[in-house]
Structure 1
Amino acid sequence: MSRLLYHLDRMMLAGTPAVRWIDGLLLVIGAMAGFGFVPGRFLTTGICLVLFVSFIWLRRHWRSRDYVQFRELATPSVTPQPLAPKDSVPIHASGYFTVEEKSERFAWLQGYFRTFATREHAVICLVQPKRFLLAEWPEKDVGMWYVFFFPKSVRSVRYGMVRFGSTTQTCLAIEHEILIPKRGRFSRERTVQETVLLASPTEEDTLRILADLLHDREAKEEKDIAPKQPNPQPDPAHNGQVKIPMGETRRLD
């Protein structure tokens, strides 16, 4: 159901989303039945009204979940291990994507997960042209779309299973902060939290991504517990000169 609703919501027919045509058809049939042009009269009108409301509720329900169903499981034990910059892990990604000055929400995009030498993580996906009967994918959405985030912006990483239609795969739900730039005269720059779901065809690939993300956490923890060397402070009794302990000096001769 979620896969069908997603494609109906994304595909356009004569410049209008396919779901709008279904909405209109239900309303027209209901109205015609009410005036006696369709058998069943008020019974048919009532059925069309129930279907119309149910169809809207289902779309809103699945749209708020990016048309996928995530179920969290216990995180498996893995050894933190960074990915090499040349490594690309195949994934299906769902969430908030950007490219240049455009942004859009997509479900189950095929692509790759990479980590650059700077430790910036990238989800690189491709929207391919699709067509079903007279409906087709919007041309403005076709092409490459991306999700970028640094370790410092990651708030949580959850392991589980995700389902899209009849397909189920192991998945990581990565909650991270993104900066929404100012667009327009009356808007302002803001930071929001988004969750990108990375599903992998094999559990091995999911654990590779998890090990890479855990490496960031381990590196941060080591940095936090590393002892800091105190900086010498100016001594007011010596006209602001820095007093260096004798134990830290040595003769040069």
Structure 2
Amino acid sequence: MSDKELNYDFESVETESSIRESKGVEENDKLGKALDEEEKVRVTIEVPESVRDGAKSKLPHGGMSDEVRGLLTRIAFGQEMNQRSRLEQQLDDLREERSKLQRERRELDAKIENLDDRIHGVEDKLGSITTQEDRYEAKLEELEYRIRVEGTRVFPEHGAVERVASGVGKNPEGVIKDLKQRNPDVNDSAFEEGSIHGNGGSFLAPDEDGEITPVDEREQIHRSNESDD
């Protein structure tokens, strides 16, 4: 149930309450006030003594007069009094419904607040992870530049590899594994210490012209090289 729907229900309850009070309860209040102001007369009835004594024993002091007075009033103004009773019951029901809706709204507000807190927490974690992933990819690209452009070997014990691994909470072997997956067109010997290719002890760089081959094109180059072999 939305806040809008809840507000609508509250408005309905208030409107209905106002109608009941203005059209019914006020009229009966006038009736009660008029009866209170009207001159009183004494009514005497005769009943068996046992009836009188039995009634007195079951009623509080003055209760018998109240009962007789109430009975005669209901006989004289039964329709009006019944209407008052019905309206008062309806008013109680409407107020209870309003209280119920208010409780539901408070519970919903609390649930929404809890969800907002959880959402913010997950967003913060996601933002942290995304930032870390971006940072890691940037570091991998730096290592790839060493391999693909400079022809420099990298391996688990390489200082640059160890620094990257430490910065992202990975082990050096995991970093080398990721590099191999991103660079399938580079021979595995490029990731092993002591593997020397080309002149001067440097690795034969696949992108020695300085133009880095996009990651999504490297697999196709690898397959093409295997076919040529």
- TM-score band by shorter chain is under 0.3
Please state which structure has a larger fraction of its residues in strand: 1
Q: Which has the larger radius of gyration?
A: 2
TM-score by length of 1: 0.21
More helix by share: 2
